[in-house]
Amino acid sequence: MCGIVGYVGTRKATAIILEGLKRLEYRGYDSAGLAILQDGGLEVTRRVGRVEELSKAASKLPLHGTVGLGHTRWATHGGVTEANAHPHVSSDGKFALIHNGVIENYSQIKTFLLGKGYSFKSETDTEVLCNLIAYHYAKQPRGANGGSPFLSSVRKALRHVEGTYGIAALCVDFPTEIVAARKASPLILGVGENEYLLASDASALVSRTQNVVYLKDGELVHITNRDFAISTLDQADVSPVVDRIDWTVEEAGMDGHAHFMEKEIFEQPVALENTMRGRFSEDGSTALFGGLNLTPAEMRQVDRFMFCACGTAWHACLVAEHLIERFARVPVEVDYSSEFRYRNAPLDPQTLFFVISQSGETIDTLAALREAKRKGYRVLAINNVVGSSIAREADGGIFQHVGPEIGVASTKTFTSQLLLGAMVALYVSRMRDMSFNDGVDYVKALRGAPELVRRALAQAPHIKEVAKRYAHYTDFLFLGRLSLFPIALEGALKLKEISYIHSEGYPAAEMKHGPIALISEKCPSVFLAPRGEIFNKIVSSMQEIKARKGPVIAITTESSELPPGLADEVILIPDCHEAVLPIVATIPVQLLSYYIAVERGCDVDKPRNLAKSVTVE
C-alpha cells in the first residue's frame, strides 16, 4: 500500500528519502514521487512505475535541500498517472502533501475550493486536502495566536476531513519543517542524531535510527530542524514516548537469497523458535502468554471464541478453529474482518475475540476489532508488529516475534500464526479437559516443530523440479481436509497471488459437488494427504481425479502408503502431531508456489496489484 518517507536534518534529503522509498517497495505501489524544499521553493519530481525511475529523474536535478518528503502511491482515486502521483502541490504553490488513506468527503471539499478559486491538476483526494490546507493558511490572520500557522492550517483542514489518512506536508514559508498527522493509517517518527525521519513503516527509517515514536490516531507532529512536538486535533499537547525498534536493517536484508520470499520461507524454523521462546510453563504441560491481560479465571469463563482476519491470516484463524474445537472443545467462529464489521452478528456474551494480522494495519481487521470493542467485547490480537494500530488498540495479545517480513506473500508470519493458534488451543485445553500427560506430549510436539519444518524444507530441490514440470499450467486445485483444508486454501492463495495462475482451494470431498467439472489433463490437483483417520477418503478423491485424467501432486506424510502410480508427483513431509501438521504441510505449498512463480518470471516479492499491508477498505 502507499508509503510515506520524510526527512528533516542536515544531510541532503533526496538520497535518504529515496533509500526509504526503496525499502517500502515491498508494500506494493504503482508510482512514486518526492518533494524537496530548497532555495525558497519546492522541487517536485514524480514518476509512474518503480522508485528506480524516480531515482533516475532525481539524479538529473540539482537537489540539495535538507528537508523533504517521498511517497509511493497505490492508486485509489484516479488512475496510475504522473499527475496523480504524490506529492501534490497546492494551486498557490505553497504546500506539498503526501497522503496514505482515503478522504471520503473530498468531492464536497473540492466543490467548495473550486468556488474559492483553487484549481486542480489531478483526480486525487490528496490534492483536495492539500488545497484545503492552503485555504486555511491563506485566511489565517498572521501573528494572531502565536502558534505555528503551518501547524494550525493542517489541523483546521483535518477537522473538515472524513476518512482515513497518514499525511505529511511541507510549506515554502517554513523551509525547515514538516507537519504530519494520522488517522487509521500508520505513521512513525524516527528520532535520529540531528535529524528526524518520518515513515509509514519502520523499515524505511531503521537504517538511520532505531528510536521511534508511534503516532496515534488523531495526533499531529510538528517537526523542525531542532525539535518535534506532538499534539492532538483538539490542540492538546501529547508527551511523546520514544520506543526502540528491536531489529536492525541487516535483518531486513536478503541474505544471499534470490527473493525475500525465499529467505522468509527458509527462516521459518528460527521464526517458530522465536515465536514460542519463553512461552511454555516450567512443568512443560501448557502454554504461557504474558500479554493477554486476562486472568486464567477469566479465560475459563469464555464459552465461545470469535476469530477475525483477512487473507492468509484468515486461513490461520481456520486452523485455530479446528485445533481449539478439537482439543479444548470450545466452539469457535471465524469471519472475514471485512464481513464482520458490517454484518452486525449476534454474539454470545461470553465470547472472546481474537484478531490475527501480521502487519497490524489491515484496515478491515482494525475496523472489526473496533466494532467488537464497541459492542463491549474484549479483543486480543495475534500480530507481528509492535506499535502497530491493531497491537495498540487490542486489549491484549500475543506478538509473533518473527522479525520483519518483506515479501508481500505472508510465509513465516503465517506459520507463526499457526503455531500461536495451536498454543492458544493448548492453553485453553489445559484449563478444561486435557490431562497433564497429554499437555506434555503436545508441548513436546510443538517444540519439535522447527526441526520438522527443516526436514520439510529439505525437499526444496525436489519441489523445484516438480514446479518446473507444472509451471506452464493455467489452473490448479488445492485439496485438503480437516486442519489441512485451510492449508489447501493457503496453497491456492499463495499460487494465485505470486504467479497469477488461477487456483482454488477446496475440502477434498467437496470436489464432486462442482469443482470436479474442471478436471482434465489441463488442471493439476495438489492433494494434502497426511496419514490419519481419513487418509483413505482422500485417496478415493485422488482416484476420482485420476479417472478423469487430472494430474495429481500428492503432499503426504513419510509413513503413508499411497497406492502405487496414483499420484504423478509425490512430495513427502515428516509424520507429526496434529497440532504441528498444518505448519509442516504449509512448507511444500509455499515452495511449490514460489518455484512456479520464479519459473514463470514473476516479480515474486512485489506481485502486481498487491500490497503488504492493506490500509484502505
Select the residue interacting with ligand AGP from 274, 338, 560, 613 (CB under 6 A). 613
In degrees and rounded to multiples of 5, residue 138 shows phi and psi of -65, -35
In degrees and rounded to multiples of 5, residue 381 shows phi and psi of -125, 140
CB of 385 to ligand AGP, least distance (A): 8
Does 184 bind ligand AGP (CB under 6 A)? Our answer is no
Determine the interface stretch with ligand AGP among 80-88, 311-319, 343-351, 469-477 (rule: CB under 6 A).
311-319
Interaction residues for ligand AGP, span 88-147 (CB under 6 A): none
Of 279, 344, 337, 286, the C-alpha closest to 308 is: 337
Amino acid at 131: N
- CB atoms under 10 Å from CB of 497, counted, come to 23
Does 389 bind ligand AGP (CB under 6 A)? Our answer is no
Select the residue interacting with ligand AGP from 358, 429, 556, 615 (CB under 6 A). 358
Select the residue interacting with ligand AGP from 6, 149, 163, 311 (CB under 6 A). 311
CB of 28 to ligand AGP, least distance (A): 9
Burial 96-135 (b: 16+ CB within 10 A, else e): bbbbbbbbeebeebbeebeeeebebebebbbbbbbbbbbb
Of 218, 213, 150, the C-alpha closest to 184 is: 218
What does each C-alpha distance from 253 to 23, 270, 272, 534 come to in angstroms? 10, 16, 19, 43
Amino acid at 129: L
Select the residue interacting with ligand AGP from 45, 231, 275, 362 (CB under 6 A). 362
Cell numbers 482451494: residue: 505
**Closer Cβ to ligand AGP, 557 or 593, answer by number:** 593
CB of 123 to ligand AGP, least distance (A): 26
Determine the interface stretch with ligand AGP among 40-48, 117-125, 173-181, 607-615 (rule: CB under 6 A).
607-615
Which of these is catalytic: 263, 494, 546, 612?
612
**Closer Cβ to ligand AGP, 125 or 405, answer by number:** 405
**Closer Cβ to ligand AGP, 43 or 497, answer by number:** 497
Q: Are 194 and 227 contacting, i.e. CB atoms less than 8 angstroms apart? A: no
Number of residues that bind ligand AGP (CB under 6 A): 16
Tell me the C-alpha distance between 238 and 84, whole Å: 34
- CB atoms under 10 Å from CB of 526, counted, come to 29
Interaction residues for ligand AGP, span 495-514 (CB under 6 A): 497
In degrees and rounded to multiples of 5, residue 407 shows phi and psi of -55, 140
**Closer Cβ to ligand AGP, 366 or 449, answer by number:** 366
Select the residue interacting with ligand AGP from 67, 191, 408, 449 (CB under 6 A). 408
Does 368 bind ligand AGP (CB under 6 A)? Our answer is no
Select the residue interacting with ligand AGP from 14, 124, 359, 560 (CB under 6 A). 359
CB of 356 to ligand AGP, least distance (A): 7
| Secondary structure (DSSP) of 23-89 | HHGGG--SEEEEEEEETTEEEEEEEES-HHHHHHHHHTS----SEEEEEEE--SSS-S-TTTSSPEE
Does 320 bind ligand AGP (CB under 6 A)? Our answer is no
Determine the interface stretch with ligand AGP among 218-226, 290-298, 326-334, 351-359 (rule: CB under 6 A).
351-359
**Closer Cβ to ligand AGP, 158 or 409, answer by number:** 409
Beta-bridge partners for 47: 32
Select the residue interacting with ligand AGP from 109, 197, 261, 313 (CB under 6 A). 313
**Closer Cβ to ligand AGP, 534 or 610, answer by number:** 610
Does 539 bind ligand AGP (CB under 6 A)? Our answer is no
Select the residue interacting with ligand AGP from 184, 310, 380, 596 (CB under 6 A). 310
Tell me the C-alpha distance between 599 and 159, whole Å: 51
Helix axes 412-430, 581-599, angle to 10 degrees: 170
- Known catalytic residue: 522? no
**Closer Cβ to ligand AGP, 440 or 610, answer by number:** 610
Element (H, E) at 96: strand 95-100
Does 265 bind ligand AGP (CB under 6 A)? Our answer is no
Does 367 bind ligand AGP (CB under 6 A)? Our answer is no
**Closer Cβ to ligand AGP, 233 or 610, answer by number:** 610
Pull the grid cell for residue 349: 456474551
CB of 310 to ligand AGP, least distance (A): 4
Beta-bridge partners for 46: 33
Select the residue interacting with ligand AGP from 76, 153, 357, 400 (CB under 6 A). 357
**Closer Cβ to ligand AGP, 181 or 309, answer by number:** 309
Pull the grid cell for residue 471: 509451471
Beta-bridge partners for 399: 383
Determine the interface stretch with ligand AGP among 85-93, 272-280, 392-400, 608-616 (rule: CB under 6 A).
608-616
Does 319 bind ligand AGP (CB under 6 A)? Our answer is no
Is 160 exposed, middle or buried, given 0-12, 13-18 or 19+ CB atoms closer than 10 A? middle
Which of these is catalytic: 2, 171, 576, 602?
2
**Closer Cβ to ligand AGP, 276 or 408, answer by number:** 408
Cell numbers 518455484: residue: 595
Q: Are 543 and 536 contacting, i.e. CB atoms less than 8 angstroms apart? A: no
Does 365 bind ligand AGP (CB under 6 A)? Our answer is yes
Residues tagged active-site: 2, 612
Q: Residues in the site for ligand AGP, rule: CB under 6 A?
A: 310-313, 357-359, 362, 365, 408-410, 497, 610, 613-614
